[in-house]
């Protein structure tokens, strides 16, 4: 008989969701004039932490993987969060795309401020929803 996965710890899930807010705050600060291309990295980090919070709530382990698609793929196929998190998958490229110069020393400029702000709004909305649904489900008295 297979062992039951450990019960999700709401403190750990909440810590990941708190860090999503901090990453979004960093992205917001970096789009203030003069904008900084590293805002894109913080969008990816916020998304990764949100995905990892969902994974923890489902009893899945947290990995060092930064590929959002791979992380989301491990969620159950009928999980409502799987579809919601799919929208964040394009941000996987932001983990490295804007952080390092090319072999010739060129740097990509990063997404526009408007694009960053749209992503911030989308991620913040999902994070609020996660706080409500994931933490309620992970709290022992809610079971």
pLDDT for 142 equals 47
Neighbours of 45 (CB within 10 A): 21
Nearest to 72 by CA among 88, 59, 57: 88
- Residues 89/72, Cβ–Cβ less than 8 Å: yes
Spans of all domains in the chain = 10-138
CATH of domain 10-138: 1.20.120.330
Mean pLDDT score of the chain: 90
Q: In angstroms, rounded to a whole number, what is the distance separating the alpha carbons of residues 96 and 58?
A: 28
Whole-prediction pTM value? 0.89
Q: How confident is the model at residue 143 (pLDDT cuts 50, 70, 90)?
A: very low
The predicted-structure confidence for 33-87, as pLDDT tens digits, reads as follows 988 999 999 999 999 999 999 999 999 988 888 899 999 999 999 999 999 999 9
DSSP secondary structure code for residue 37 in this structure: T
């Amino acid at each position: 008989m297979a062992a039951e996965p450990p019960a999700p710890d709401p403190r750990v899930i909440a810590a990941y969701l708190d860090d999503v807010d901090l990453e979004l705050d960093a992205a917001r600060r970096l789009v203030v004039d003069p904008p900084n291309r590293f805002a894109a990295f913080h969008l990816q980090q916020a998304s990764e932490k949100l995905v990892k919070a969902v994974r923890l709530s489902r009893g899945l382990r947290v990995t060092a993987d930064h590929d959002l698609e791979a992380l989301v793929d491990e969620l159950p196929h009928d999980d409502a969060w799987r579809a919601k998190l799919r929208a964040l998958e394009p941000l996987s490229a932001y983990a490295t795309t804007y952080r390092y110069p090319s072999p010739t020393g060129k740097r990509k400029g990063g997404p526009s401020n408007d694009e960053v702000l749209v992503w911030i709004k989308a991620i913040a909305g999902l994070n609020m929803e996660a706080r409500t649904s994931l933490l309620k489900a992970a709290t022992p008295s809610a079971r």
